[in-house]
């Protein structure tokens, strides 16, 4: 069995150009707000990962299956349907804090590692920032640099 090539890689596309070219006016307004929050939490400038993910930092992973790759440590995508934030799936011994934050966040949906927000006005910005910070902290504990 051959090694599967991951499609989502860091690119040299300008984050500012990507945001400026977003077709949806709300996403063009909200993406810089989310970017500023991530820059504050991570202390890093973003890179584009694939065609639509704004990512901060990177880490190497390997699954039990042997599949391995490199991905951004934190990131989001200002998609048409919703702003998608990529967060940890499992917060370990900090799961109760994560659950409380999700409960206090406001209107949102989640899937395995994604948080979907239709518009930033639907959520508490301080709670959102704390969720991103918690996910960043847990990621860094699990995958030390």
Mean pLDDT of 106-130: 97
Read off the pTM. Answer: 0.91
Beta-bridged to residue 78, according to DSSP, are: 83
Question: Domain 15-142 belongs to what topology?
Answer: 3.90.1150
- Would you state the pLDDT for residue 142? 92
Contact predicate 109/118, CB 8 Å:
no
pLDDT digits (tens, 9 = 90+) for 41-83: 999 999 999 999 999 999 988 888 888 889 999 999 999 999 9
Residue 2 pLDDT class (50, 70, 90 cuts): very low
pLDDT digits (tens, 9 = 90+) for 3-39: 455 567 778 899 999 999 999 999 999 999 999 999 9
**Spatial distance between the Cα atoms of 78 and 7, rounded to a whole number of angstroms:** 18
Spans of all domains in the chain: 15-142
CA atoms within 13 A of residue 72's CA, in its CB half-sphere: 26
DSSP assignment of 64-122 equals TTS-EEEE-SEEEEE-SS-EEEE--S--GGGHHHHHHHHHHHBS-EE-SSEEEES-GGG
- Would you state the pLDDT for residue 122? 97
């Amino acid at each position: 069995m051959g090694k599967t090539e991951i499609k989502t890689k860091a690119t040299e596309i300008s984050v500012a150009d990507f945001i400026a070219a977003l077709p949806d006016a709300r996403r063009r307004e909200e993406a810089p707000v989310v970017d500023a929050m991530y820059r504050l939490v991570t202390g890093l400038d973003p890179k584009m990962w694939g065609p639509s993910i704004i990512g901060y930092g990177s880490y190497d992973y390997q699954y039990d299956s042997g599949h391995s790759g490199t991905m951004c440590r934190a990131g989001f995508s200002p998609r048409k349907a919703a702003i998608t934030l990529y967060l940890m799936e499992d917060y370990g011994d900090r799961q109760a804090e994560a659950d409380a934050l999700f409960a206090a966040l406001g209107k949102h949906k989640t899937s395995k590692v994604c948080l979907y927000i239709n518009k930033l006005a639907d959520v508490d910005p301080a709670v959102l920032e704390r969720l991103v910070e918690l996910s960043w902290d847990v990621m860094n504990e699990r995958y030390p640099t």
